[in-house]
Amino acid sequence: AEQLESIDSAILALKDDPGRDDSLAGLLRSLHTIKGSSRMLKFKAVEALAHGLENVFKGVKEGRYGITRDLVRLVFLTGDAMRRCSDAIRATSADDIDTAPFLSVFERVYASEPFTLDGLAAPEARPAPGSQASGSPAAAEQAPSGAADAQSPQATPVQAATPVTSEPSAPAERRQADKPRETIRIDLGRIDGIVRVLNNLIIKQFQFRKEKDLVARVEDALGDAGGGGKEAVAVALRATRQLRKKLDEDLELMERNTFELQEDILSLRMLPLELILGNLGKMVEETSAVLGKDIRLSTSGTELLLDKFILEGLHDPIVHIVRNSIDHGLETPEERVAKGKDPVGNLSISCASESGHIVIRIRDDGRGLDYARIRQRAIDAYPSQAADIAELPEASLNAYLFMSGFSTKDEISDLSGRGVGLDIVRHNIESIKGKIDLSSEPDRGTEFSLSLPLSMATVDGFFITSAGEKFLIPATFVREVIIVQANEVMDLLNRRGFVLRNLVVPLYPLSVLLGKGDDDPFDREKLNVVVIEAFGEIMGLMVDSIVQYTTLIYKPVPRNLSGLKTLQGIVFDENFDIITILFVPELMNRCKRIRNIDTRKRYAEGRRENKRILVVDDSPTTREIEKSILEIEDYQVSTAVDGIDGLDKLREQKYHLIVTDINMPRMDGLTFVENLRKLEGYAQTPVIVVSSEDDEGHRTAFRAAGATSFIVKSDFERENLVERVKALIGAVQHG
């Protein structure tokens, strides 16, 4: 596998610079190594493939023909065949695959005769239609015919480009990307360091045993002091002081060794980024060939180390972003020339260590984002928010690109994810405690920035308090911590905010977001504010106090709390109390749904029973009518525009009753009800179906899916809806 990766890297280097003798020598050396090893182990298929491709590149070395795009693809396809042989060897101890098509192509290339790559891709290398197993979608369509590279006058046009396989391109590599690695390589020097620290701890253990004997002598001395006068007491006191000093020194040294041992052990899980970025060149070359684009990939900082589990979680998001950049962002050579650009597009991946985090920037110099189109698609998807969306700055529109089901393309593309948007990327990055940001300029390109912790085992953040409870806010999402004077707070349209260096930042009380506290949080002279940032948006989170910055061992959320989306995990503070880690992206989602009037109502009306209702309907008029009717009865009401939006809302917080329509875009009412019954905590939640259709078939289907009640819009009256709701969950009781 390592030799094949070396071959892929060498052929890409030769494609960019055919005169690189070191790359050609390295490629031939790897092929020779594979050939010799296979011959020794009697794997004839691998030997034949390696020998045939070795002959092809001997022809390159002799100057008989040059490096063409077809020759590059032949190397990739041969490597895929060798990986299939490797799979077969693992399964059956034999490498029985048909090598005849490859050997025929090798002979024609070496003889400078016309050749075609048809039939060289194995069926199992092609993903099934619609498959999304690894999050690395493949191009299933074939590229149009094209002329052979000018460097190879003997070659003829390729009749049909071979379908590009997914990345990873062969079953063995695909399994490696999908399945977490169960082994890692460790340098012996790191093991020696751990053994050294462990030996120190064992020595300290022996010293503590000796000091235990000293404690016994002190006890004896204190006992004798009772009848020995002042001199005996002085002796006992000196012994006690010596013991305390010795214990303090040993304890400090033991703590230092323990922390050092902990860091050394955690570092064993650290692996270089090269493991996931090193094979992107092949995928970029294959994908750009399908799309008829010329793309130059550059990487830097790939030697940086990351936690093994973070590294494995990064593969799919990075591949998805890169493929989107190739498909959506970078133009064809003709389009680039028309814009006055270099016909070869640039795609760069740079990795750097910044403020205790690893930051990966993926940038292209393509067409950039079409914010006018994004704005219109956002309005179409969320018509009830049309007025607010129309006024949003372009940077704030980026958040919609990360929402479930959101896409700016009219047609689904296999290359860029079969309609699966960046919400999958966001989810994967958040699952490894990372943050993703996006920036773009028209015709200058787009940049994705991934900020990641060094380790999944630890978390950096700020201890804060709110409504009498202690929480940890991860530093990844904290832009800065400030104090805001009460007279600096201003009333915005639907919320409050303050000005931070010419930027208006909306301000939200954490106690309101978490449903805690009774006092008005704005009724203070000075406000402690944590400025948080994600997806290009900035918000102020008002807390009671900011205790300290800390680095602690991270623990996942207990299973019984896994449904609470505002929690990311837990840590233990210095008193060994369990402190919850707040999940900032979810808090920001809640901030966007809360209005200034909501905050004031909470503290003006006193304590009251919370009964939440979700209204799901694609008609803005119907939604607002039903919402108004229920809010008059003091129910807390949220709305959703269709079934998909409704399921997202149900995952965000608990609702006591759902009101839904039947006919809606993206996901209809029946499918919505069937899906909500599968959500944890919603197996018995009452569902009222309100529809213009009075059909017994619909009623039967909805009852089978779990609907509780059915109201026909022709019979709809305010009292009718309210009576059904009160019968199912009761009226709101005020304290």
CB burial readout 6-19, b (16+ within 10 A) else e:
bbbbbbbbbbeeee
Mean pLDDT of 332-351: 94
Is the pLDDT reported for residue 133 higher than 60?
no
123 Cβ contact list (under 8 Å, min separation 6):
none
User: For 525-577, what is each residue's pLDDT tens digit?
Assistant: 889 999 998 877 889 999 999 998 888 877 776 665 666 777 888 888 777 77
Give the pair of three-digit tokens for residue 265. 């052990």
Q: Which residues pair with 81 in a beta bridge?
A: none
Among the residue ranges 173-187, 500-514, 689-703, the one predicted with the least confidence is 173-187
Do residues 497 and 505 lie in contact, with contact meaning Cβ atoms separated by under 8 Å?
Answer: yes
What does pTM read for this prediction? 0.60
Instruction: pLDDT band for 290, please (50, 70, 90 cuts).
Output: confident
| Token reading at 337 | 């020339």
Are 297 and 284 in contact, with CB atoms under 8 Å apart? yes
- Pair 721, 629: CB distance under 8 Å: yes
pLDDT tens digits for range 87-106? 999 889 898 888 999 999 99
| DSSP letter for each residue of 325-380 | IIIIISPPHHHHHHTT--SSEEEEEEEEEETTEEEEEEEE-S----HHHHHHHHHH
Angle between helices 280-291 and 308-324 in degrees, nearest 10: 20
Tokens of 404: 């479930």
The more confidently predicted of residues 394 and 536 is: 394
Q: How far apart are CA 244 and CA 237, in angstroms?
A: 11
Residue 552, strand partner residues: 459
Most confident of 189-193, 270-274, 319-323, 494-498: 319-323
Instruction: Please report the pLDDT score of residue 525 as a whole number.
Output: 83
| pLDDT tens figures, 140-175 | 333 322 233 333 333 333 323 333 333 333 333 333
Identify the sign of the CA torsion 54, 55, 58, 60.
negative
pLDDT band at 447 (very low <50, low <70, confident <90, very high): very high
- For the segment 479-520, what is each residue's pLDDT rounded down to a tens digit? 899 999 988 888 776 678 898 888 888 899 888 887 765 566
* Mean pLDDT value across residues 115-124: 72
pLDDT at 269: 75
Confidence of residue 217 (pLDDT cuts 50, 70, 90): low
* Amino acid 534: pLDDT: 81
Residue 297 has pLDDT above 90, yes or no: yes
Q: What confidence category does residue 187 fall into, taking pLDDT thresholds of 50, 70 and 90?
A: confident
DSSP tally for the chain: helices H, then strands E: 23, 23
55 compared with 243, residue with greater pLDDT: 55
Provide the mean pLDDT of the chain. Answer: 79
Report whether pLDDT(419) > 90.
Answer: no
User: Of the given ranges (20-24, 177-181, 452-456), which has the lowest mean pLDDT?
Assistant: 177-181
Q: What mean pLDDT do residues 658-684 have?
A: 89
